[in-house]
Amino acid sequence: MTLFAEYDDYDAAGLAELVAKGDVSPDELLDCALARVDVQNGDLNAVVNMQVKVARQMIKDGLPDGVFRGVPFLLKDLSTAAIDFPSHNGSRLLANTTYSYDDTLYSRLAATGLVTFGRTTSPEGGVGPVTEAAVYGGPTRNPWDLSRTPGGSSGGAGAAVSAGILPAAHGSDGGGSVRIPAASCGLFGFKATRARLPYGPEAGEGWAGMAIDGFLTHTVRDTAILHDATAGPEIGAPYCAPPMAEGFAQSLKHPPRKLKIAFATTSLDGTAIDPDCAATVTATAKLLADMGHEVVEALPSADVGAMMHSWTTIVACGTALWIRNAVKARGTPLLDDEIEPVARGAIILSERMDGADYLEAVGKIHAYGRQMAQFFVDYDILLTSTLAEPPAKIGRYRHQSEDFLNYRVGPGGVFEYSPFTAAFNATGQPAASLPLGWSKDGLPIGAHLAGRFGEDDVLMSLCAAIEQAQPWAGKRPKRFGLNLG
């Protein structure tokens, strides 16, 4: 079989342009993606629940004439319902879940002409900055260094895109789950303003409104086009995002206005971070100043510690709820080996609380959003590192502890490793991770930019301008051998 040798040279939009011109067929592009799965997935453990016959039938039946017609695509193996794509949802308890409907997000993606052929790995319940769920038989690994995590919870998506299996993949983000893999895998990851993308029809929100879908890509334009294709309110949604001045892709056509940008080379509470991560922030701040923006070192005064404890309370309750619903739906008791220790710990923590405790946590999240909004009265953008250090070693944050609170916010816990991203799930603001730095060991480091609530287009425009000033898409991990002849 002869493969399209230039597959790696194009982003999703570029591949779609080739299909539209007749230079390559959807079947040929799917062959390229599948060949890369065959060669790389044994090491990465990133792609699961493949439905190749479904993908071939999509092509045979005639794909929608959309912006990504013929481009291979993967859904995250968590939450997103699609009739043709069973899911494990990162858990042995939910293994081989099937769906009777397509959710709104997948319906909008399908309308673009994407050729979905499977799913990508996720940690159980979407909890944690790594992807090492027991249901997949082993950890998902980082293409840059197989001893490192690709992040979580969209870790499989990050690994698959970074490795070149496909140019873009679906993810979701409730505490950094798009931006953490983007930083870990040298990719672009964008979290839109709360409710910018649909969450239904089965649910109106996730984790008290902190969760939202997103995408892992090499280029800003792919992310922008994917957001244009999927954004917008849906019938019955409890709330929607404020309108933007212009669409995502339109915002790429010009640089943003001169912005006032705050930056911090520490965590949000002033704690020191890894020197390579701090250096990435400093270099990015200089780049932004050279681009003509006003750049000032400043930290918001919002109580990030209280926010993270409240985030942990809400996620513990959300974890306990999906487990309870799954057990109730099948009508038999939960078995000892069906969920991992961290999920058990979430149940234990939730059982110590009552409804008033949960509502208090939601109230503290809302208060944090108001505190952070006050900071953004004076600043358009906040620049930090995405993570406090380069990608962690495999096993460090494996779901092996039943102390859910300590796993998240205890010494050496997730919050120390990822002290930035969840802040903007709590506030609902748009935020992005850009692959602008490298550790001394050659590992990717993300620079994190957060914008004002609702100003997704401003942030996306700035990301595109940075990409033009300091391109990153050509830097890829070493490929495993492929027969392209």
Tokens at 427, concatenated:
């506030």
Question: What average pLDDT score do residues 443-452 get?
Answer: 98
Tokens at 333, concatenated:
């008791």
pLDDT of 1 higher than 90: no
- Determine the pLDDT at residue 485: 41
Long-range contacts of 407-410 (CB under 8 A, 24+ apart): 407/128, 407/342, 407/345, 408/308, 408/311, 408/312, 408/315, 409/305, 409/308, 409/309, 409/312
- Determine the pLDDT at residue 479: 66
Question: What does the pLDDT look like over 85-141, one tens digit per residue?
Answer: 999 999 999 999 999 999 999 999 999 999 999 999 999 999 999 999 999 999 999
Cα separation, 440 vs 447, in Å, equals 16
Q: Is 301 a catalytic residue?
A: no
pLDDT mean across residues, the chain: 97
The residue whose two tokens read 């309870």 is: 324
- Determine the pLDDT at residue 483: 54
Tokens at 112, concatenated:
């673009």
pLDDT category of residue 5 using cuts at 50, 70 and 90: confident
Q: Which residue, 414, 397, 407, 309, is CA-closest to 353?
A: 309
* Burial state string for 262-290 with b = 16 or more CB within 10 A and e = fewer than 16: bbbbbbbeeeebbebbbbbbeebbebbee
Q: Is 260 a catalytic residue?
A: no
- The residue from 76, 79, 251, 364 that is catalytic is 76
pTM of the prediction? 0.98
pLDDT category of residue 421 using cuts at 50, 70 and 90: very high
Cβ atoms of 197 and 203 closer than 8 Å: no
Parallel/antiparallel/unpaired status of strands 260-263 and 381-385: parallel
- Determine the pLDDT at residue 84: 98
Cβ atoms of 392 and 271 closer than 8 Å: no
Query: Which domains can be identified in the chain, with CATH numbers?
Result: 7-469 (3.90.1300.10)
- The residue from 91, 154, 177, 461 that is catalytic is 177
Question: What average pLDDT score do residues 406-416 get?
Answer: 97
DSSP states of 334-384 as a string?
A: PPTTSS-HHHHHHHHHHHT--HHHHHHHHHHHHHHHHHHHHHHHH-SEEEE
- The residue from 79, 87, 122, 153 that is catalytic is 153
Cα separation, 481 vs 302, in Å, equals 49
Question: What average pLDDT score do residues 42-46 get?
Answer: 98
- Determine the pLDDT at residue 474: 87
pLDDT of 46 higher than 70: yes
Question: What does the pLDDT look like over 160-212, one tens digit per residue?
Answer: 999 999 999 999 999 999 999 999 999 999 999 999 999 999 999 999 999 99
Residues 6+ apart with CB under 8 A from 137: 45
Parallel/antiparallel/unpaired status of strands 431-438 and 381-385: unpaired
Listed in order, strand segments (DSSP E) in 176-310 are: 188-191, 212-217, 260-263, 294-297
Under DSSP, is residue 309 helix (H, G, I), strand (E, B) or coil?
Answer: helix
Q: Is 153 a catalytic residue?
A: yes
Listed in order, strand segments (DSSP E) in 350-467 are: 381-385, 431-438, 444-451
Bridge partners (DSSP) of residue 168 are: 217
- Determine the pLDDT at residue 484: 47
Cα-Cα-Cα-Cα torsion 412, 153, 161, 201, nearest 10 degrees, comes to: -160
Question: What average pLDDT score do residues 437-442 get?
Answer: 97
pLDDT category of residue 4 using cuts at 50, 70 and 90: confident
Cα-Cα-Cα-Cα torsion 320, 173, 239, 268, nearest 10 degrees, comes to: 100
Question: What does the pLDDT look like over 262-280, one tens digit per residue?
Answer: 999 999 999 999 999 999 9
Tell me which H or E stretch contains 15: helix 12-21
